[in-house]
Amino acid sequence: MTFEKILITGALGQIGSELDQYLSEIFGRDRIIISDIKEKNDPRYKKIDVTDFNSLNFLVEKYKVDTIYHLAAILSATGEKYPDLAYRVNVDGLHNVLEAARINKVSQVFIPSTIGVFGPETPRRNVPIETITRPTTLYGITKVFAEQLGNYYQRKFSLDVRGVRFPGLISYKSPPGGGTTDYAIEMIISAVRKQNYTCFLREDTVLPMMYMPDALEAILKLSEAPLEKLIHHTDFNLTSFSFSPKELAHEISNYYPEFSVIYKPDFRQEIADSWPESLDASAARREWGFAPKYNFKETVKDMIYHLQEIYGH
């Protein structure tokens, strides 16, 4: 049985906070337990550090959790600053989640992966799922391991583990959590707030991206896909479009002609340079029928519309 009792780890993050709202509307708020390491005043909230196996296992057992969306992680840029923390959260935390799921006979675990699994030796364009995955960031290394560990639990213990390699996700409801693709969100917010933006990537750095509503739909659609239709499990490439900071600044200038960007690449440039420009996401279409709805222009337009509601026109 799935979706009777859902646990979201990392539920206060960029994806988790929106996934909670999205799943609550579909399944009802009381079916969802939200957890994170931060503080939150909500009766459904349980403060759990995913590196603490006993607390996590107790929670899964006590509430008879049947579906886990494991979103607690340290992202690429923060991971380069704190590699030890990234290892503990992304490797030990994932192992704890899979173990708690196995022991308590959880029906399904969703573990998002990332374009961070790719590295400088990966082809740059239209990257297939099966390719060279030799990342140079600790984040990427932990995510290659996560994909493989998920597949191992699938094979060895028949635990239904699923995941996608998300590109950079663009959203306005919750701030991004320390990734390399965060610049795109920061740039749009700066424009709406009528501030200029100093970009930490070079203007010609092309990366694959997706708007959050498509990412949320993808998560649920993959969760609901019949297991027997899936050839892949934890490593589906996903993408909607690719753009560079310069192209984004140009698109924004259609709404804010005065907006300007200064480019001051920092340590995140090296991370971005190790990632591909575009992905082949055809397996997601073939195996579970996913196609994103938002293109680049619609994403920027919708972001600006909602951010104007938040920050004023």
Q: List contacts with ligand NAD (CB under 6 A).
A: 9-10, 12-16, 36-38, 49-51, 71-73, 75, 89, 93, 112, 114, 166, 168-169, 176-179, 181
Q: Which is nearer to ligand NAD, 44 or 256 (CB)?
A: 44
Catalytic residue among 87, 139, 197, 211: 139
Residue 168 touches ligand SER, criterion: CB under 6 A: yes
Angstrom distance (rounded) from CA 166 to CA 147: 13
Separation of alpha carbons 71 and 80, rounded Å: 19
59 binds, among ligand SER, ligand NAD, none (CB under 5 to 8 A by kind): none
Euclidean distance between CA atoms 121 and 30, whole angstroms = 46
Residue 208: name the closest of 312, 105, 127 by CA. Answer: 127
User: Of 155, 154, 162, 280, whose CA–CA distance to 225 is shortest?
Assistant: 162
Q: Which residues in 71-196 belong to E strands, given as ranges? A: 108-110, 113-114, 160-162, 164-166, 168-170
| Cβ atoms < 10 Å from Cβ of 276 | 24
> 133: exposed, middle or buried (C-beta count within 10 Å: 0-12, 13-18, 19+)?
buried
The pair of three-digit structure tokens given for residue 95, joined into one six-digit string: 């192992």
Indicate if 139 belongs to the active site: yes
Nearer to ligand SER, 99 or 273 (CB): 273
Position 116 contacts ligand SER (CB under 6 A): yes
Residue 207: Cβ-neighbour burial (10 angstroms; 0-12, 13-18, 19+):
buried
- The listed partner (ligand SER, ligand NAD, none) that binds 173, CB under 5 to 8 Å by sort, is none
Judged by beta carbon distances under 5 to 8 A according to partner kind, the member of ligand SER, ligand NAD, none in contact with residue 180 is ligand SER
Write down the least CB distance from residue 313 to ligand NAD, Å: 27
- Selected from 75, 206, 218, 219, the binder of ligand SER by CB under 6 A is 75
Nearest-approach distance from CB 163 to ligand NAD, in angstroms: 9
- To ligand SER, the closest distance from the beta carbon of 140 in angstroms equals 8
Stretch 179-198 residues interacting with ligand SER (CB under 6 A): 179-181
Q: Which residue stretch of 24-32, 176-184, 198-206, 234-242 sits at the interface with ligand SER (rule: CB under 6 A)? A: 176-184
What proportions of the chain, in percent to the nearest 5, are helix, strand and coil?
A: 45, 15, 40
Binding at 38: pick from ligand SER, ligand NAD, none (beta carbon under 5-8 Å per type): ligand NAD
Question: Distance (Å, rounded) from C-alpha 263 to C-alpha 41?
Answer: 39
Where do runs of H (alpha helix) occur along 131-196? Answer: 138-157, 182-192
Task: Rule CB under 6 A: say whether 245 interacts with ligand SER.
Answer: no
Which of 9, 35, 114, 274: binder of ligand SER (CB under 6 A)?
114
Answer whether 226's CB lies under 8 Å from 285's CB.
Answer: no
Task: Please give the C-alpha separations between residue 230 and each of 115, 186, 239, in angstroms, as whole numbers.
Answer: 20, 36, 19
Q: Can residue 76 be called a binding residue for ligand SER (CB under 6 A)?
A: yes
Q: Is 138 in the site for ligand SER (CB under 6 A)?
A: no
**For ligand SER, which is the closer residue by CB, 23 or 146?**
146
Q: What is the set of active-site residues?
A: 139
Q: Which residues bind ligand SER (CB under 6 A)?
A: 75-76, 114-116, 168, 179-181
